[in-house]
Amino acid sequence: MPRVKGGTTSLKRRKSVLSRAKGYRHSRGTKERHAKEALVHAGKSAFNDRREKKNVFRQLWIVRLNAAVRENGFRSYSAFIDALKKKDITLDRKVLSTLAKDNPEAFARFAKKLAA
């Protein structure tokens, strides 16, 4: 079996790593070893932040809902959620928050029906 040299594969790998690290500062964007390590750390942060984003959005929806709920006669967000569960309404926080933000009069009607 003939001997195969790895020049093209190494070059392709190096080029791939450096292209992914484009825009990084100093040697992280120009040297393969530093770029590789920077990409590993960036990957960890990206993974964690994709999960953190879900928490951040949930917090935003809750804040928006709380503001809208207090304007419409409920004493708190938790009282509103409790009323939803007792009436067996399964709308999620994202939908309710969007409704409260984009269509406040419809949300007001919904809240009044829920309170009654």
Mean pLDDT value across residues 40-51: 97
At residue 4 the predicted structure's pLDDT band, cuts being 50, 70 and 90, is confident
Instruction: Output b/e per residue, 41-73; b: 16+ Cβ within 10 A.
Output: eeeeeeeeeeeeeeeeeeeebbebbbebbeebe
Residue 6, pLDDT score? 87
Cα torsion 57, 59, 61, 67 to 10°: value is -150
Sorted by sequence, the CB contacts under 8 Å of residue 71 that are 6+ apart come out as: 108
Domain 14-115 grouped into CATH 1.10.1900.20: yes
pTM score of the predicted model? 0.74
